[in-house]
Structure 1
Amino acid sequence: MNEHVQTTTSAPLFNPLAPEFIRDPYPHYERLRTTDPMHLTPLGMFVASRHAEVSLVLRDKRFGKDYVERSKRRYGPQIMDEPVFRSMSHWMLQQDPPDHTRLRGLVVKAFTARRVEDMRPRIQQIVDQTLDAIEAKGRMDLIEDFAFRLPVTIICDMLGIPEEHREVFYNSSRDGGRLLDPVPLTKAEIEQGNASNLMAQMYFQQLFELRRKNPGDDLTTQLVQAEEDGSKLSNEELTANIILLFGAGHETTVNLIGNGLLALHRNPDQLALLKANPALTTNAVEEFLRYDSSVQLTGRVALEDIEDLGGKKIPKGESVLCLLGSANRDPAVYPDRPDRLDITRPKIRPLSFGGGIHLCLGAQLARIEAEVAIATLLRRLPDLRLDDAENPEWRPTFVLRGLKRLPASW
């Protein structure tokens, strides 16, 4: 690695786990876009920060995931013996066709626009129950007490996790995000990942048994039946993808709601506008996605030599890290003050849900959850204010951008 050591003493252009980067990555992105839009990091990865290159890489068939080879290149061939890496290698999120096509085809029906729209009354009910239970207290942590409960309950509903098992999920720690960061994991972090993965596997194996005996109208039943068909899904794939759906089904939505509420309270004019005009909520959610995306980065690997991407040659097998949060503020696409929150902004098409074949399955579900949660909170607790909008506590992860806590009172 030492030939890559930076010769200058200046701070690296891309240092995503630095506290100041986590607190506010956007000035760093602007520097990347203007000075080195296809930046080569000391670890040999390319970092794409402009909208043009990011959107191209997400949709171009010459790029894929190549997860196993990429992980071996970074950690050595023995890395696939680590249970957490083996599990992640089966995630549809990390697969290329044809496996990706087969796995996604098994679950896509549960996430159609129609199915998700039908869940709106249930989403409203959960938000109302959450607020009913807390309204009299006069204060709460908007992350743990509010934003977290809704998506966890919905994904438990969808996966057929019985009511009496859910308490453990409401109280589980949210520290899995580090596994996705583009900074190599330490031995201790891998051990921690293995332990969490084992716990999840043990739980879901029990759930599979339950759903084999008592089938329900849920995704787990659907996948267990596909597994019994033999050709469609192995047990290892079944387990890994349920773990993926559970995590992906709440982590990012919690952050979308939290980051959106923080942005509103940091921009009181926009907060007042949304309270006065709740019909703007749908567009406001698109703007929250653009303005402070809950997923900041997604990676692809060049499956062949790429002659020219933003002026750089990308050799086969090298990684391109696509900075979604940076692309979302690219003035080439959002000429009207991209660093400003504007819930009336026209033609918002955030890249926060990725793109191409891996476009987020739950995009529409996340939008509706955020819409209902934020609109209901503003309607029912109109005088809610944050304890400290200026210095909130961010979680120490970069790819999944979100707050540790967000205390508020009314």
Structure 2
Amino acid sequence: MTVPAPSQALLVTLLDPAQRADPYPVYRQILDGGPLQMPENNLHVFSSFADCDEVLRHPASCSDRLKSTTAQRAIAAGQHPRPFGTPGFLFLDPPDHTRLRRLVGKAFSPKVVKALEPDIAAMVDGLLDEVAEAGEFEAIADLAYPLPVAVICRLLGVPIEDEPKFSSASALLGQGLDPFIAFTGESPGAEERLQAGLWLRGYLRDLMERRRAEPADDLISGLIAVEESGDQLTEEEIVATCNLLLIAGHETTVNLIANAILAMLRHREQWTALAADADRAPGIVEETLRYDPPVQLVGRVAGADMTIGEARIPKGDTMMLLLAAAQRDPGVTERPDDFDPTREAIRHLAFGKGPHFCLGAPLARMEAAVTLSAVTRRFPRARLAGEPAYKPNVTLRGMASLPVALS
């Protein structure tokens, strides 16, 4: 089936930075049109909740892009398949994915996450103390960004004083998840991202050497110990894993916290209600994950011939899942464009499904709930002081700034 030109144009429209502040009308147009199949591009775009859910749970769905027809074609043409080296386990399939996830999962166990809560609450209070006297604050720079960065640095063992070094590299690599090649055949900024990725991996290798000499109570030291015990863990796998967690471990949580603050300030009754009742925080978090998700889309590769709904997907074709569209599917959620944390059932795919369900979901939920409860309680009369500015990222869509007046 050939996709009509207007439908294909909508995909390109999503990439336009002008859409970043509110991409949801475009998502809705794509959703209303049904699946977009572009066999000449080996690409299939799904936007309904049912289709995205089925792809995520399907046993033939793969995350390793080297299994795609497009990647194999590029390799045959002489391109390097993995310019950064071994990918993080998020982009691998079993058995490698299973082995690496099991080793890393210990750092995100419920017991570890629960033990972090008092320290996270203290960090939040400290950040809010710093802005209380100013009368206004920049919600990203003063709160939503520094907290998740400090937490993931602590878990991994990355010195927080090195944060300025890796923050810009992380931002560039986040843009690498955007589907420019899939939608347009182009990859703007590829060389800059390559250099950032190589630098970050070099930084992590140097940090590993420091941890070999002086082990600490952190994930990097733990993974080194596993490597040295001969448990089939290579240095490249450690570097790739830490690289993944450093980027995914803070970019998404920054966006979750910031998106929730914005949604509540645009729906003042929700801000006031949370300020009066901290037990409402989990509902706020889940509705934000549905209404304005930190991860807007994900990709999968058909590991075998598949059928999703009425769409047939040949082995090797790429499937793009527009999660942000799926979570506003009126067939699943009533009043999908309304921000309503009191819904009886909040259904979303923000953390994925199946074997790739987000390892850090409990930590992200806890960080967000603690932060949102504290900021609303501390500043119950806060209000927007201007419109937010957005980063260029499509997949990890998030704000660059959000000015808030405290009274």
Alignment counterpart, residue 101 of structure 2, candidates 101, 104, 107: 104
After TM superposition, the score normalised by the length of structure 2 is 0.91
- The code of the aligned residue for 1:226 comes to V
- Given the alignment of the two structures, is residue 406 of structure 1 paired with residue 405 of structure 2, yes or no? no
Q: Which residue does 1:248 correspond to in 2? A: 248
**How far 1:271 sits from its partner (Å)?**
2.2
Of 135-144 and 97-106, the range deviating more from structure 2:
135-144
- Given the alignment of the two structures, is residue 213 of structure 1 paired with residue 209 of structure 2, yes or no? no
Alpha-carbon distance in 1 for matches of 2:160, 2:389: 31
The Cα offsets for residues 32-62 of structure 1, whole Å up to 9 and x where unpaired, read as: 2222234448744111111111111111111
Alignment counterpart, residue 376 of structure 1, candidates 344, 356, 374: 374
Q: Which residue does 1:180 correspond to in 2? A: 177
Q: Which residue does 2:9 correspond to in 1? A: 12
**How far 1:321 sits from its partner (Å)?**
0.9
Alignment counterpart, residue 342 of structure 2, candidates 341, 344, 356: 344
Alpha-carbon distance in 2 for matches of 1:60, 1:284: 30
Alpha-carbon distance in 2 for matches of 1:365, 1:79: 38
Q: Which residue does 2:26 correspond to in 1? A: 28
Q: Which residue does 2:190 correspond to in 1? A: 190
Alpha-carbon distance in 2 for matches of 1:175, 1:163: 19
- Given the alignment of the two structures, is residue 331 of structure 1 paired with residue 330 of structure 2, yes or no? yes
Summarize the Cα distance change of 1:269–1:133 in structure 2 as closer, same or farther, 3 Å threshold: closer
**How far 1:215 sits from its partner (Å)?**
1.6
SS across alignment from 1:115? helix
Alpha-carbon distance in 1 for matches of 2:326, 2:63: 20
Answer whether contact 1:38 1:312 (CA < 8 A) is retained: no
Q: Which residue does 1:361 correspond to in 2? A: 359
Answer whether contact 1:296 1:399 (CA < 8 A) is retained: yes
Q: Which residue does 1:275 correspond to in 2? A: 275
Q: Which residue does 1:94 correspond to in 2? A: 91
Summarize the Cα distance change of 1:7–1:264 in structure 2 as closer, same or farther, 3 Å threshold: closer
**5+ residue gaps in structure 1?**
none
Summarize the Cα distance change of 1:312–1:187 in structure 2 as closer, same or farther, 3 Å threshold: closer
Alpha-carbon distance in 1 for matches of 2:153, 2:341: 31
Answer whether contact 2:223 2:238 (CA < 8 A) is retained: yes
Alpha-carbon distance in 1 for matches of 2:309, 2:249: 33
Answer whether contact 1:14 1:41 (CA < 8 A) is retained: no
* Structure 1 segment 285-304 matched on structure 2, within 5 A: 285-304=285-304
Q: Runs of at least 4 residues of structure 1 off by over 6 A?
A: 170-173
Q: Which residue does 2:153 correspond to in 1? A: 156
The Cα offsets for residues 238-258 of structure 1, whole Å up to 9 and x where unpaired, read as: 111111011011000000011
Summarize the Cα distance change of 1:209–1:94 in structure 2 as closer, same or farther, 3 Å threshold: same
Q: Aligned residues, how many?
A: 400
- Given the alignment of the two structures, is residue 58 of structure 1 paired with residue 56 of structure 2, yes or no? yes
The Cα offsets for residues 256-298 of structure 1, whole Å up to 9 and x where unpaired, read as: 0111111111112322322233221111110111110000111
Of 43-52 and 236-245, the range deviating more from structure 2:
43-52
**5+ residue gaps in structure 2?**
none
Summarize the Cα distance change of 1:162–1:33 in structure 2 as closer, same or farther, 3 Å threshold: closer
Answer whether contact 1:212 1:224 (CA < 8 A) is retained: yes
Identity across matched positions, percent: 40
Summarize the Cα distance change of 1:135–1:168 in structure 2 as closer, same or farther, 3 Å threshold: farther
